[in-house]
Amino acid sequence: MNKDVQGWRKKFAVIGPSTNTIVQPDMELMRPPGVTNHYSRIFTPNSRAISNETFYNATLTIAGNVVDAVKSVVTCEPDYMVMGMSAITFYGGVKGAHEFSKKITEASGGLGVSTGAFSCTAALKAYGSNIKRISFLSPYYPVANEQVRNYFTEEGFTVVRDVPMQAPSWTGIAEITTAQLRETIMKLDGPDVDAIVQVGTNCSMVKLAAAAEMYLAKPVIAINTATYWHALRANGINDKVYGLGRLLEEF
């Protein structure tokens, strides 16, 4: 069977909201030779003046539109699905995360999928069994952070604290600055925390997380890094990608 001349190892279908401008360049940074990323956008109105209610309802709109994005991208015959939208992968705890993965696999005709929720769990476990107490940040509103907290708790982690950064719009998530993220990381850190996790795929933190690991001397996991790492390893691609943190360099 002939292989795609550029994606001769694997073709990844990357699914993300139409408002997301971070996942695509982030995942290109991590892409090894012979792997190609094929981005499909979930139609997402750019909600503004977001509140708990509007944020939650908007994520449900995304969940309702995700199958159309999957059906569109599978026409390029990808080998695997990569979920570039994280909030809805945490909803409903571990059971909800499994149901979401099943939904994507069925819509894609049986392809495997890496989701933000399960990828973060796998990443935390990769660092070792001593990682038990975590803190996390998101661009979300408290209603969504509650879902993330419940998921991690069900996965056996103790969530010490979390910060919802409450971006003013979907595109506003991508405008959260490195300085704001660095300040939030310092609020989350402490001797009672074994690792720090960032969720929210339109928040650009892959480079900052790598740097923070060095100055905090503990795992700092950006969700885009975790998800793409999980997709690579799930497909038997063990290339080391340097400069973006220990996860891609060591595990």
Domain boundaries, the chain: 10-118+225-250, 120-222
CA distance 30 to 82: 13
Q: What is the pTM of this model?
A: 0.96
Measure the CA dihedral 204/199/246/177, to 10°: 30
The CATH code of the domain at 120-222 is 3.40.50.12500
Do 10-118+225-250 and 120-222 agree at the fold level? Answer: yes
Provide, rounded to the nearest whole percent, the portion of the chain with pLDDT above 70. 99
pLDDT at 227: 98
Tell me what the pLDDT averaged over the chain comes to: 95
Q: State the CATH class of domain 10-118+225-250.
A: alpha beta
End-to-end CA distance of the chain: 31
pLDDT at 172: 95
Counting beta carbons within 10 angstroms of the beta carbon of residue 31, is it exposed (0 to 12), middle (13 to 18) or buried (19 or more)?
middle
Per-residue pLDDT, averaged over 8-18, amounts to 97
